[in-house]
Amino acid sequence: MNLQSKLPTVGTNIFSIMSALANQHGAINLSQGFPDFDCPEALQNRVNFHLKNGKNQYVPMAGVPLLRERLAEKMKNSYGTNIDPDTEITITAGATQALFTAITAFVHPGDEVILIEPAYDSYRPAIELAGGVPVIYELVGPDYQIDWQRFGALISTKTKMIIVNTPHNPIGKIRSVEDMQMLEQLTNGTDIIVLSDEVYEHLIYDGELHQSVLRFPKLFKRSLLVYSFGKTFHSTGWKMGYCVAPKILMSEFRKVHQFNVFSCNSFVQYGIADFLEDPETYQQLPNFYQQKRDFFQDQLVGASLKPLSSEGSYFQLYDYSEISDLPDTEFAKYLTTEIGVAVIPVSAFYSSGRDEKVVRFCFAKKEETLAAAGKLLRAM
C-alpha cells in the first residue's frame, strides 16, 4: 500500500525512548514528567463516590456545569478575573487535547505560528497537521530570556498564533510581568491569537507569582489558556484538563472539541468539582513542590553537575559540560544505562537539535526516589 505520512519526520518521542531504556536497565526514571506518588486520597474518594453513584453517562459537551463554576471561582480567586463558566471554559481530555484543539481550530494552511523553543513536543506536529508553518524563536541558556526586539522581528502578516508556556517545560523558567506586557504590546492591534500553556500554574517557587495571561485583560481578549488537572493533582493518567478563552474564541474551540472528543470522563469531573471546593487543594502546591526541588538539589551537591535555576514546573535542568563532551542524547543514555538514572536531553525540545550540554530531571518523585538517584549521581 502506498501511504503518504502527514508527519513523515515524526518517530517515537524521546520520553517513550528514555522510559523504555530506564525499564530495560532498571534505572531510576527521572525522565518523563509524572509523579511516582499517588493523587490525594480525598480526591480519589470523591471520584469513586460518583463512579459508584451513577455518574457514568455523557455529560455536557463543555463539561460538568459545577466543575466549570468551581474553575471560574478559582480564576477569580487566583487572578482577579471574571470568567463565564457557561461560555468561556471547556473541560478537555488532558491539556494536550486542548492544545491540539486550539491549534487546529484557528490555524489554516500557510498560517505562521511562532514557537518559543525549547518547547513541549506536541506543539509542532499539531501546527503541521493543520497546514501551518512553525516559525522558531530559540531561547539560549543558561538564562533562557526572550529578546523581545528579536522576537518581534519574527511577526509578519502571515502570523496567526503565538504559543507561550509559563512555567516552562523543559527549562523551569517563569515569564515576568515585563514579558507579558511586551507580548501584549506586540500583539495589540493585530489578529494574532495567543495560545498560553499554563499547565504548571501552581508550581511556582521562591515567593514568585504566576503571570497568567488572565492578569492582562487586553492580552486575554485574544488568548486561549490551557490547564491540566493531571499536573495539578498528581493524576496524569486521568488525562483531564481544560481550556479558558473569551466567548468568541471558545465558540470556535468548541466546534472542533465536539468532533474530536465531544465530552470527557464523567465521574472524574464530578469528583474534581467536589475536591475544588477547598482552595487549599491547589494553594499548598508551591510549598509542596519547592520542598522537592530543594531536596533534590541538596542530593546532587557534589555530583559535578551544575544546576540551572528552576523557578517553576517540576523540572530541573543540569549542565554537565564540565564532566563530559558527549552530545546530550548520548549523555542521557549513558546516565540511564551506566549510572542508573534516566533523564531527558534538552536538545529533543529544539527543532534544530540545539545542544547546550544540558539534561532535564523530573523531581516530582518521592524523597526516597530522589535520594537514591542523588546517591548514584554523586558517585558518578
Per-residue burial over 332-367, b = 16 or more CB atoms within 10 Å of its CB, e = otherwise: bbebbeebbbbbbbbbbbbeeebbbbbbbbbbbbee
How far, in Å, CA of 324 to CA of 319, rounded? 10
- For 150, other C-beta atoms within 10 Å of its C-beta total 10
Per-residue burial over 94-121, b = 16 or more CB atoms within 10 Å of its CB, e = otherwise: bbbbbbbbbbbbbbeeebbbbbbbbbbb
How far, in Å, CA of 97 to CA of 226, rounded? 10
Nearest to 56 by CA among 266, 197, 200, 244: 266
* DSSP code of residue 312: B
Q: Quote the pTM value.
A: 0.96
Question: Which three-class secondary structure state does DSSP give residue 134?
Answer: strand
Residue written as cell 488532558? 94
How far, in Å, CA of 312 to CA of 166, rounded? 8
In tens digits, the chain (380 residues) has pLDDT values of 888 899 988 877 888 888 899 999 999 999 988 999 999 999 999 999 999 999 999 999 999 999 999 999 999 999 999 999 999 999 999 999 999 999 999 999 999 999 999 999 999 999 999 999 999 999 999 999 999 999 999 999 999 999 999 999 999 999 999 999 999 999 999 999 999 999 999 999 999 999 999 999 999 999 999 999 999 999 999 999 999 999 999 999 999 999 999 999 999 999 999 999 999 999 999 999 999 999 999 999 999 999 999 999 999 999 999 999 999 999 999 999 999 999 999 999 999 999 999 999 999 999 999 999 999 999 98
Domains of the chain: 14-33+283-378 (3.90.1150.10), 41-277 (3.40.640.10)
Per-residue burial over 286-309, b = 16 or more CB atoms within 10 Å of its CB, e = otherwise: beebbebbeebbebbeebebbbbe
Give me Rg for the CA atoms of the chain.
21
Helical axes 367-378 vs 285-299, angle rounded to 10°: 20
As to burial, measured by CB atoms within 10 angstroms (0-12 exposed, 13-18 middle, 19+ buried), residue 222 is buried
